[in-house]
Amino acid sequence: MLFETRPADWQAVAADELLIGYCLTAAPPVTDPQQAADRLRWFAHRLEHPNAAIAADAYAEYALAPFAVVREATTALDAEQLASWLTDPAINPQRRGFYGLAAGLVARQRQGSEASCCRQALHQALAAPRGSDFQAGTDGLLAGLLIADGAEAINNTALGLFAETASPVDQRHLLNALRFAWEEPADTMPRHQTVATTRRLLALPHLAREAIIDLARYQDWEALPAIVPLWDELGQDDPLIRPAVAGYLVACPQPAARQAVEQLRRRDADAVAAAIAASRFPLPAATDSR
């Protein structure tokens, strides 16, 4: 990336022979979109380079690349090396999230020992003890698991994501992973599985509002019977729930949605009007990381 920035943006750094050689050995240029994956493959073997500047530059190339290009360039990644990085506590957590995503792609694209070692490493990384409740990169690990095995892996009781003792932070990571699964690898993670798992988040008070909004965005109108009761069950304690429910009902084309709005209006017309008005304004977004 060094030679793709203006000289005015450059910063002087201490350079050893490795870094000088790296700078002089240019990555393949991209003159055609089809060459983007070839360029990314060139950086694959430099992701954990002993020289921190080289490793950071290689990681930045992957971080800025479109998902489709990353998926195509996954052929250059070594399955056993990915598995090793996933279970190495010394690896930067944010990088581990990307390696989790890459491991999911490898598990999906390959067979035999390469696929199984990536799957096993994903489970080990998610089960590993943490220094704190928040762990950067967990959403990437979960996204990798979704790509590798679909919703069945997420619903696995061993992960405990829907258990009463589950970490709310991990559940939010799951929400982010599901959003990624909807936006990016639609051909590897069936969208009906994304929708079905998002519905399960309606039962979690701290994520119900985001789940309602996402289900409306996914146009999952079959969730209507589960969403309407949340007006009363959660709406009195969380002021953001009712605007989300109202927004869903207004967007839903089913007659049952209009009937639900009228029933709520008969109970409290002012509250419904306020909720519908609030639903038209951007609401605080869930934390989103890749």
pLDDT exceeds cutoff 50 at 287: no
Taking CA atoms, 121 is separated from 142, 180, 213, 277, in Å, by 12, 21, 33, 47
Is-contact 245 235, C-beta < 8 A?
yes
**Mean pLDDT, rounded, of the chain:** 84
> What is the pTM for the complete model shown?
0.80
**What does the pLDDT read at residue 283?**
47
Q: Is the dihedral of CA 92, 94, 98, 104 positive or negative?
A: positive
Taking CA atoms, 109 is separated from 21, 62, 71, 126, 274, in Å, by 34, 18, 9, 21, 49
* Residue 285's pLDDT band (cuts 50, 70, 90): very low
Tell me which of 39 and 242 has the higher pLDDT. 242
- pLDDT single digits (tens) 185-242: 666 678 888 899 999 999 999 999 999 999 999 999 999 999 999 999 998 889 999 9
**What does the pLDDT read at residue 12?**
63
Look up residue 152 and give its amino acid.
E
Taking CA atoms, 142 is separated from 14, 106, 127, 163, 217, in Å, by 37, 14, 11, 16, 21
- pLDDT single digits (tens) 251-267: 999 999 999 999 999 99
Compute the distance between CA of residue 23 and CA of residue 14 in angstroms, rounded to an integer.
13
**What does the pLDDT read at residue 6?**
61
**What does the pLDDT read at residue 126?**
86
- CB environment 118-134: b (16+ within 10 A), e (fewer): bbebbbebbeeeeeeee
What is the mean predicted confidence (pLDDT) over 61-88?
90
Is-contact 112 265, C-beta < 8 A?
no
**What does the pLDDT read at residue 284?**
44
Contacts 24+ apart (CB under 8 A), 275-281: 275/242, 275/243, 275/245, 275/246, 276/243, 276/246, 276/247, 276/250, 278/242, 278/243, 278/246, 279/243, 279/244, 279/246, 279/247, 279/250, 280/247
Compute the distance between CA of residue 88 and CA of residue 93 in angstroms, rounded to an integer.
10
pLDDT exceeds cutoff 60 at 74: yes
pLDDT exceeds cutoff 50 at 243: yes
- pLDDT single digits (tens) 113-165: 999 999 999 988 888 776 555 577 888 999 999 888 887 777 765 578 888 88
Compute the distance between CA of residue 159 and CA of residue 141 in angstroms, rounded to an integer.
12
**What does the pLDDT read at residue 242?**
95
pLDDT exceeds cutoff 60 at 270: yes
**What does the pLDDT read at residue 99?**
94
Compute the distance between CA of residue 38 and CA of residue 47 in angstroms, rounded to an integer.
15
Tell me which of 228 and 111 has the higher pLDDT. 228
Q: How many CB atoms lie within 10 A of CB 137?
A: 23
pLDDT exceeds cutoff 60 at 1: no
